[in-house]
Amino acid sequence: MAIVMDGKKLSEKIRGSLKEKVAFYKEKYDRVPGIAVILVGNDPASTVYVNMKEKACLEAGYKSVVERIPESSSTEDLLRLVEKYNADNTIHGILVQLPLPKQIDEKRILYSIDPAKDVDGFHPYNVGLMHIGEDTLFPCTPYGVMKFFEEYNIDLTGKNAVVLGRSNIVGKPMSALLLKANATVTICHSRTKNLPEVCRTADILVAAIGKPNFVTKDFVKEGAVVIDVGINRLDGKLVGDVKYDEVEKLASHITPVPGGVGPMTITMLMYNTMKAFEKSIK
């Protein structure tokens, strides 16, 4: 049976060390990291997520501001808000919750965020730095996956890593971070031929395709490390992209859903905000 990689436990550990850092900086400089989250409209999933972020940030002693603006807001309204936080030196991280209403020009908004405060790691400047192997603000979900490898002493050098999915939020940055860590990386997607066969070459398999139970035992080599980034609702239950009951018998390590990658995303948002804060005071 696979070792279960516990995202709740790892999150608590990282959040605990962030909280200690906050106390240190508060004492030494009377300054704390600050994050501004902008939520447009009342999408239920986004609202839950934003509330969880705020609670986690406040618990660790961060300054946290949430701007809730109406669904009918314009691109210009949102640009003005981003500019306000770009200029605010008590705010070190800015996150515009996605998805945005369709009348808003998402790219213009994301690209207007000061790259030094881009704690989502979505700005092309940071994406570019990541791809040339520099240390910068990396997208939270794949960055959280990298923390699992660190925590469970999984050396990536020379390993075959297969990433299932090519989104800008997970698949592409995941592949960049694995490459930076010296893995041999293959990216698969909906058009990939012989998918199970390619996946069976993986020492490290990361599933981020958003299809419930898609990765069966036929995709997994014995002893592989399997990371499940999927969060799907199936018959009222949360399930990942990996058919867990089958795959846990084959894998050496596996992340569960829920309790695996999910809790790490908010933790890495806090981690990035700390990173941006520390850079701003140095």
Report, as residue numbers or ranges, the catalytic residues: 53, 97, 120
From the number of C-beta atoms within 10 Å of its C-beta (0-12, 13-18, 19+), residue 67 rates as middle
120 lies in the site for ligand GUN, by CB under 6 A: yes
Say which residues have a Cβ less than 8 Å from residue 53's Cβ, sequence separation at least 6. Answer: 35, 37, 64, 95, 266, 269
Look-up of token digits 């058919």: 243
CB of 159 or CB of 172, closer to ligand GUN: 172
96 lies in the site for ligand GUN, by CB under 6 A: yes
Site for ligand GUN in 137-156 (CB under 6 A): 140
CB of 95 or CB of 178, closer to ligand GUN: 95
Other CB atoms within 10 Å distance of the CB of residue 76: 11
Q: Residue 235: which H helix or E strand, with range?
A: none
d(CA 173, CA 166): 9
d(CA 205, CA 32): 37
The piece of 16-24, 94-102, 150-158, 182-190 that touches ligand GUN (CB under 6 A) is 94-102
228 lies in the site for ligand GUN, by CB under 6 A: no
Of positions 36, 95, 183, 188, contacts ligand GUN by CB under 6 A: 95
8-state DSSP, 7:
H
Instruction: Report in angstroms how near the CB of residue 148 gets to ligand GUN at its nearest.
Output: 17
Binding residues for NADP(+): 165-167, 231
118 lies in the site for ligand GUN, by CB under 6 A: no
267 lies in the site for ligand GUN, by CB under 6 A: no
**Where does this chain bind ligand GUN (CB under 6 A)?**
95-98, 120, 140, 265
